[in-house]
C-alpha cells in the first residue's frame, strides 16, 4: 500500500490552522473522517465485501497520515478534547470488531492455501529431481 506524503501541516484543503478554535475544529474534523472510515470498513467486513474493505483501508491509511501530520497538536478546549477522546474510542472499538471478523477469515484462508502451497513445493522438488538443471 503506497501513501502520498504531504509536507507537515498540509492536506487536500490547504494549510493546517496552527492555533485556536480553527485548529481545534481541524483536528476534530480529521478524527471524524477517520472514525467514519473505520465504521465503513467495519460494515464492509461484516458484509464480507473485501474489495470495498481494501479500498476503504487505502483511504483510511491516507487519513492516518493526516493524523500523523497533526503531530502533537492538542485540542485546546475541554469540550473539543472530549469529542476527540470519544472519536478515538469509537475508532478503537471499530478496529477491535474489524479484527474479530478479519483474523478468523485470514486463518481460514491460510488453512485453504496451505495444502496448495505444499503441493506446489512438492511439484517443484519433483521437477528439480527430474531435471538437475532446474536445481
Least confident of 6-20, 26-40, 41-55, 67-81: 6-20
- Residues whose CB is less than 8 angstroms from the CB of residue 57 and which lie 6 or more positions away in sequence, other chains included: 1, 41
The overall pTM is greater than 0.75: no
Average pLDDT score over residue span 22-37:
90
The residue whose grid cell reads 485548529 is: 23
pLDDT in tens, 52-108: 999 999 999 999 888 888 777 788 899 999 999 999 999 999 999 999 998 876 666
Amino acid at each position: 500500500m503506497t501513501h502520498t506524503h504531504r509536507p507537515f501541516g498540509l492536506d487536500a484543503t490547504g494549510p493546517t490552522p496552527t492555533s485556536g478554535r480553527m485548529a481545534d475544529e481541524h483536528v476534530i474534523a480529521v478524527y471524524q473522517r477517520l472514525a467514519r472510515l473505520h465504521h465503513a470498513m467495519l460494515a464492509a467486513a461484516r458484509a464480507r465485501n473485501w474489495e470495498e474493505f481494501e479500498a476503504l483501508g487505502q483511504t483510511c491509511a491516507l487519513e492516518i497520515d493526516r493524523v500523523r501530520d497533526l503531530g502533537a497538536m492538542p485540542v485546546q478546549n475541554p469540550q473539543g478534547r472530549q469529542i476527540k477522546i470519544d472519536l478515538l474510542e469509537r475508532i478503537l472499538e471499530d478496529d477491535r470488531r474489524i479484527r474479530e471478523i478479519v483474523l478468523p477469515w485470514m486463518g481460514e484462508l491460510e488453512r485453504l492455501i496451505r495444502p496448495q502451497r505444499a503441493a506446489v513445493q512438492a511439484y517443484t522438488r519433483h521437477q528439480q529431481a527430474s531435471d538437475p538443471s532446474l536445481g
